[in-house]
Amino acid sequence: MIAVSTDINTPQIPSMKAILGAAKKPVQVWSPADIGLNSVSAYSTQQVAAPKQRERQRVVIEGDGEEQIAAFVENLRKII
């Protein structure tokens, strides 16, 4: 696993000229043979599964501001 923070780089925003120029350039497509690989897949799919669906939960907190905040914090503590 590799993890990288978003602070690692500040991306440069391309100019309009660079964007339009990139749209005109041809796209190079390589086959596996072009880069020295055989055409057999380098991986195999073992299983494809969708995550289990969970029922959404909605909580309506009533009361004045302080009571609502206290109830909200209590609900967060139960989840975490």
Q: State the amino acid at position 11 in one-letter form.
A: P
32 near 39, Cβ under 8 Å?
yes
Is residue 21 over pLDDT 80?
A: yes
Q: Which residue has the higher pLDDT, 71 or 1?
A: 71
Tokens, residue 64: 């004045």
End-to-end CA distance of the chain: 25
Q: State the amino acid at position 21 in one-letter form.
A: G
Q: State the amino acid at position 61 in one-letter form.
A: I
Is residue 65 over pLDDT 60?
A: yes
What pLDDT does 1 receive? 56
Average pLDDT over residues 38-67: 81
Element holding 24 (H helix, E strand): helix 16-24
